[in-house]
Amino acid sequence: MTTKAYPRLGETLYTTTLPNGLTLHVVPKPGFRSYYAVLAANYGGDHRRFSLGGEMIDTPAGVAHYLEHKMFDLPDGDNALNLLSANGADPNAFTSGSITCYYFQCTEKFEENLRLLIHFVTTPYFTAETVQKEQGIIAQEIRMGEDSPGSAVYYNLLKQLYANHPIRDRVVGTVESIAQITEETLYACHKVFYAPSNLCLCVEGDVDGAAIEAIAREMLPPEKAELPVADFGPEEGLLPQEALHRECMAVSAPQFLIGAKFRPVEGEGALRQRIVAQLALRLLVGSSSRFYTSLYADGTLNRDFDYEADFSAGTATVILGGESEEPETVLSALNERIAEVCKTGFAPDAFERAKRASYGARLRGLEDFDSVCVSLASGQFEGYCPFDAPGLLDQVTKAECEAFVRENLQPERFALSIIEGKKAEA
């Protein structure tokens, strides 16, 4: 295993790639009682079309999420969730547009739980009966999401921004799309996307890296499989498909999101772009920014306001929003503030404060084993290591943040999604 120390963070990272292609990250925490493990697949809801062996393959929307639901079933009739819980572990899983993660936290029987995790994630077991039964469960989840204002305002925004990329569609799929999923579909996608070469195992706790590697070698097949190549459709333009979208639902206060696309950087510059984007947004619309404090003071915004630079499955999107009776006023104020930044830049003292705040947030994040392990897996698939972020943050300049705003946040690039209350009938 290769070893890289981060003395400034007080962390050490052990990394190796097995002959079968599995990447293993281990963060030792001597003296800690808690253990955390994540086995992640480079496979999410957006990986619906891919090529393998020269053949292009299309799958229904929702397969990655469907697989996540069914992977806990074992051939002997047991359920991995029950087995892990009986061992004192707290297990779960999630599927996003770009990744599927299976994980557990425990304070005892770690190696036994780790073997269970690897075993159930790499042991597919589906029958026509269980797949059909799951369709009803997931269909109910889909309908609940359709009734959620928070989900509606988010996916409406993505549809406004993206014309073709599958990010515009819900990770869970639709009732119609999941009806097309069979046990053969699940077996085929598991074989492609759950091969060790497409997985990453991340562990944090009072563990020995060599012992973790030995378990992974023992539990996984030695062969290295071909990696699938995702096809997310034709390149998207930078302008939204629809600038404004309104929908009426049962809400106590209007919800809104403002979004804009930008081009993601791949390779060595990926992590720096993420740091610059997040720092620029902190300066522009963060809780200490002139934009937020003025709109909060006059009641246009409340504490539910939030922002992010989201990178998922080859996309990069600025998203900000919350609750407001005047979403269009918020967008107008945002454009005014951006115009000011383009003319005069950010104040040097505000930039230094934002940098220190960002550094502090990253340090606090190291306290959460789950955050560390998931970010290591995500970074592995995106080509960077999150432990390098504080060092890169030191290098980021005010000019880079100003350039990010100037180049990516022009008024014509924004889309505004609004969910407002239903009008009372006269």
Active-site residues, by number, are: 68
HSE-CB of 31 using CA atoms within 13 angstroms: 0
- C-alpha 46/C-alpha 118 separation (Å) is 24
As to burial, measured by CB atoms within 10 angstroms (0-12 exposed, 13-18 middle, 19+ buried), residue 349 is exposed
Residue 92 structure tokens: 């779960």
d(CA 93, CA 105): 12
CA distance linking residue 283 with residue 288, whole number of Å: 8
Cα separation, 170 vs 97, in Å, equals 8
Structure tokens given for 16: 């190796």
Q: How far, CA to CA in Å, does 46 sit from each of 232, 233, 240?
A: 7, 11, 19
DSSP string, 319-367: EEEEE-S-HHHHHHHHHHHHHHHHHH---HHHHHHHHHHHHHHHHHHTT
